[in-house]
Structure formats: structure tokens, C-alpha cells
Structure 1
Amino acid sequence: MAPSSASWPDTAPELARTLHRQLSLNDRNWHQLKTDPDRRAAELLAGALAQLLQGGQREDVDALVCQGLRWLRRELKDPGCPHR
């Protein structure tokens, strides 16, 4: 990604990372929250923001935003655990 012309406040990248960590699903809350489309969208959009503020690849930021929007629009659903 080309260097951004934006001048972010010094604390913005760390705040975005903290927000993303707070919203990320993990092994303790995965089964409880994996089907919540708003939570999934928030996690992805926070990840996109963190990537943007840290100079991530535009394609990666765009992919996270697009997937987050699909959760918001209810176009994506958790496929569930595979049955053996």
C-alpha cells in the first residue's frame, strides 16, 4: 500500500487494535456469538479500521469491509459445525 496521505492521531492505531481485540470472537465466546450478524460485522469492520490505520494493504481492508457489510445485510450466515 502506498503511504497514506492521512495524518492519524498518534493514539488512533492502538485504539483501533484495542477495539478489534474487544470485538473479536475467540475460543471462549465463539459458539455463543458466531451466529450474531451484527457482532460478526463489527469484528470485521473494526479489523478493517485497524488495518487502514496501520497502513495495511488496500485490498485487505476492502475485503474486510465487504465481508462486514455482507454480515450487516444478512447475506452471510454461519454455516455451523461440520457433522462427522
Structure 2
Amino acid sequence: MSTAESRWPESAPELAQELHRCLSLGDRDWHRLKTDADRRSAELMAAALSQLIQGGERNDVEELTEQALRWIRRELKDPGCPHR
């Protein structure tokens, strides 16, 4: 067990991954939810949490968190699908 893993409760990595899977936008709900800023930010925060708990790169955790904050502040919007 790595030092990063030992600081978290045993079930934390799996629970964080499950939360991220639960909040991730899939193919079936992408078009319906892609503009929902709260949903997009929650997905990104769950990804950042999962990365942090699993000992991911700090830069990746920071980037995911910053992008989530930009959705919360309504600084980001979905650009829409490209037209041919």
C-alpha cells in the first residue's frame, strides 16, 4: 500500500470512483445535461476527488478543480456541437 492510499479509509478510492461514474455524463444524457453547469462542475469535482485520493498528479487535480470552479462561476458554457 502506498503512502497516499494509507491516509484514506480503505473504501474511499472505490467510493470516489463510483461517485465519479455516477455523475459522469454518458452518451444517453450528454445532449440533455451538457449545458447544466452544476452537473458539469459536480462531475469535474468528483474526478478531482478521485484523482486526489488515488495519488494522482497534483496538477491534474488542480486543473479539474479549476475547471469545476469555472462552471460554478458560470465562466464556462458548452460550445455546442460543431456543424458540418
Under a length normalisation based on structure 2, what TM-score does the superposition of the two structures give?
0.93
Alignment of 1:34 with 2:34, yes or no, is yes
**Deviation string, structure 1 residues 4-38 (Cα, Å, up to 9, x no partner):** 49710000010000000000001111001000000
- The residue number in structure 1 matching 2:78 is 78
CA RMSD of aligned residues (A): 1.4
* Greater helix share, structure number: 2
Specify the code of the residue in structure 2 equivalent to 1:21. Answer: R
Matched residues in 1 for 2:4 and 2:63: separation?
18
Quote the sequence identity (%): 67
Structure 1 runs, 4 residues or longer, greater than 3 Å off: 3-6
**Deviation string, structure 1 residues 33-81 (Cα, Å, up to 9, x no partner):** 0000000000000000000000000000000000000000000000001
Structure 2, unaligned runs of 5 or more: none
Assess, with a 3 A threshold, how the Cα gap between structure 1 residues 55 and 34 changes in structure 2: closer, same or farther: same
- The residue number in structure 1 matching 2:11 is 11
Q: Number of aligned pairs?
A: 82
Under a length normalisation based on structure 1, what TM-score does the superposition of the two structures give?
0.93
Structure 1, unaligned runs of 5 or more: none
